[in-house]
Structure 1
Amino acid sequence: MPSSLSESRESQPRASAPHDRPVQLLDPSGRRVPHAPYDDYVADVSGDQLASLYEDLVIVRRLDVEATALQRQGELGLWPPLLGQEAAQVGSARVLRPDDFVFSSYRENAVAYCRGVKLTEMLNVWRGTALSGWNPYEVGMATPAIVIGTQALHAMGYAVGAKLDGEDSVAVAYFGDGATTQGDVNEAMVFAASFRAPVIFFCQNNQWAISEPVTLQAQRPIADRAPGFGIPSVRVDGNDVLAVMAVMRRAVEQAREGGGPTFIEAITYRMGPHTTSDDPSRYVDPLEREEWAGRDPLARVEAHLREAGGLDDALAASIARRADEAAAEFRAGCTEQVDPPPLTMFDHVYAEPHRGVDEQRRQFGEYLESFEEGVN
């Protein structure tokens, strides 16, 4: 590990240009495609391990569908669907160690599942029963960042801290293509390159920044931006869970060995709305959506496993049952939540007592009491 964070520019690794074509190891039909040097990074992935990844994909999609239904039925205030982006999230998250730390935006529910977040805890914020979903230190993942791009700075800072502490853990910042226009993401890359921070910037390019197409803000591949900061970058088929795993493993390896940050652009597609308050039929070409449906991340793994003899009808049915059980737990955990007492919203604003917050608590308490007096 370098002895100083103020290393000269000459000591920085040369930033690599993105591949002309995204890294792909499984094509949309499920056929295995060779792609050096990434083949070596998944050479140890057995049929059983790939089947386990497939199970993850099935379960997180089932949970996503259930959460969308819960919102439509009035049980959740909002939900950000991840339909179509399962492989990008599962393939990258399953590479990480427990002591690594994830900083996500609001759509990385599959990452949360892989990090061990309890199903009910994924719903707290969207149900409105908590100001934060889970304890970040129990699972190595910060709670969702709603403000676009802020988590990139948090990840960079955490990574610098890990480096100063002599740890070989890495930090990962997940964000969408729209966030790359935000100053926070670009500023995070400046600092990450300067300090050779062990951080991975993982961009899920799902083709849409809410209702605006990615081509409006990016005239070239988004991954082309990172080398300008001195950060090597790579583009990967974000609907190919095996390729995502390979690319992520290489980036993590480089970070652990002191090689600094990597920028990954996972090319995928948001098959549903931006959130459940959005109507994509107003701006999405149905033919484009149909084309991307043919690149479904679950279908290609299933096709590959069936061809290789790693998945039969019995195993597929067993996985489907487990997904349904998870969805049932998800729903029960949502509908059985109890609204917290109103004044508890002030409990964790600061770690230590704060006079300003105490005064706000007192005023709000008096306000609530006024309703009781009116009723009596």
Structure 2
Amino acid sequence: MLLTHSGEYVQLLTPDGERVAAPGFDPWVADVGDDELRSLYEDMVISRRIDTEATALQRQGEIGLWPPLLGQEAAQVGSVHALRRADFVFGSYRENAVAYCRGVDLTTMISVWRGNANTGWNPYDIGVATPAIIIGAQSLHAVGYAMGCRFDESDDISIAYFGDGATSQGDVNEAMVFAASYAAPVIFFCQNNHYAISEPVGLQAVKPIADRAPGFGIPSVRVDGNDVLAVLAATRIAADRARSGQGPTFIEAVTYRMGAHTTSDDPTRYRTDEELAAWREKDPIDRLRTYLTGSGALDEAGEAEVQAHSDRIAKQLRDGCRGLADPQPLEFFDAVYAEPNAHLERQRNQYAAYLASFDGGES
């Protein structure tokens, strides 16, 4: 695995939709033909449609909060397509494109943001842990899982997704210590979207984030995170290293969060219109569409079919969200522990008595 020079990154598809050579990476996507490229494109379009629909639902008061991934579709879709089904994903709260590609139920995806569930999906159904709100904590979980895979002599691996801000957290650094020491088959996937909430990445990383990992004994690579082919190639390389017993890899996918940090954030307070416009020119979906239409792999009928599919998915999300029944107060105590216990039952009874003290309260 090559550690790229500071300031540079691997790129296979330019913002203008031109395919360029990248020795050492091209062989890892040599099998990706028109059908696979259209699949990647469709997943990115649908992921963005899910994102814009969920943002609209929040603005309309249907959900309480949403963390947009607008602009980061290639980083998420390209990386998850490099994994096997048995590999386990540990993400933050923004990896909804990853969850979609792994088959999460759309209503389940939205339920926690509507306040109808304490958590999301069953992790074992799709091989994806539920969203982690504590910044960077999932990196430790991913390393622990990977160590278990190694001790079990399995060739399954794990991947931890986090943002540039998380790299300043102790959890991520401690996770890399353990991963290097135990040669854990894990991929550290950093989506450098340039802002940790409102703080630009340059305030916490004076050099590329990928340069940090070698200090822990972990090889790293910096890729164009808006280039789905480059992301796919780099993640395939990292996965192969992990499966073959060579330990962890750190990937820095340089991308840009074109939306807000969450729907409660106002990005106009900390970034300029000019900066946003410059990154829109590097849009991950536009560049792949340009490449596909230029090569004849995507025509108007094919594009219309993709857009129609994305609209159907958005309708499923909206209908599922609005069809959720309001949770009952005492459901808060359900599924807190695997087995009932006296401590929890006492709290439940106390809260039931409190509710019963009001007219119409649940008992």
TM-score by length of 1: 0.94
Give unpaired runs (5+ residues) of structure 1. 1-14
- Structure 1's 79 and 88: CA in aligned 2 closer, same or farther, altered over 3 A? same
Report how far residue 31 of structure 1 moved.
Answer: 0.1
Partner of 1:164: 151
Residues 180-329 of structure 1: pairs in structure 2 closer than 5 A: 180-329=167-316
Counterpart Cα distance in 2 of 1:340 and 1:92: 35
Residues 28-107 of structure 1: pairs in structure 2 closer than 5 A: 28-107=15-94
Aligned residue type for 1:293:
R
Counterpart Cα distance in 2 of 1:96 and 1:371: 52
- Structure 1's 373 and 316: CA in aligned 2 closer, same or farther, altered over 3 A? closer
Partner of 1:147: 134
8 Å Cα contact 2:3/2:222 also seen in 1: no
Report how far residue 18 of structure 1 moved.
Answer: 3.1
User: 3-state DSSP class of the match of 2:56?
Assistant: helix
Residues 114-133 of structure 1: pairs in structure 2 closer than 5 A: 114-133=101-120
Report how far residue 16 of structure 1 moved.
Answer: 5.2
Partner of 1:11: none
Counterpart Cα distance in 2 of 1:296 and 1:60: 14
Percent sequence identity is 63
Partner of 1:18: 4
Aligned residue type for 1:193:
A
Partner of 1:344: 331
Report how far residue 17 of structure 1 moved.
Answer: 3.0
Counterpart Cα distance in 2 of 1:188 and 1:374: 46
User: 3-state DSSP class of the match of 2:221?
Assistant: strand
8 Å Cα contact 1:19/1:234 also seen in 2: no
Counterpart Cα distance in 2 of 1:186 and 1:332: 41
Which shifted more, 187-196 or 343-352?
343-352
Counterpart Cα distance in 1 of 2:360 and 2:263: 39
Kindly provide the CA deviation profile for residues 240-268 of structure 1, in whole angstroms up to 9, marking residues without a partner as x: 00110000000000000001000000000
Report how far residue 354 of structure 1 moved.
Answer: 2.4
8 Å Cα contact 2:355/2:361 also seen in 1: no
User: 3-state DSSP class of the match of 1:254?
Assistant: helix
Aligned residue type for 1:173:
A
- Structure 1's 213 and 301: CA in aligned 2 closer, same or farther, altered over 3 A? same
Aligned residue type for 2:230:
A
User: 3-state DSSP class of the match of 1:31?
Assistant: coil
TM-score by length of 2: 0.98
8 Å Cα contact 1:136/1:142 also seen in 2: yes
8 Å Cα contact 1:16/1:227 also seen in 2: no
Counterpart Cα distance in 2 of 1:154 and 1:354: 26
User: 3-state DSSP class of the match of 2:222?
Assistant: strand
User: 3-state DSSP class of the match of 1:339?
Assistant: coil
Partner of 1:134: 121
2:342 alignment partner, one of 351, 355, 359: 355
Report how far residue 359 of structure 1 moved.
Answer: 1.3
Aligned residue type for 2:253:
A
Which shifted more, 64-73 or 348-357?
348-357
Give unpaired runs (5+ residues) of structure 2. none
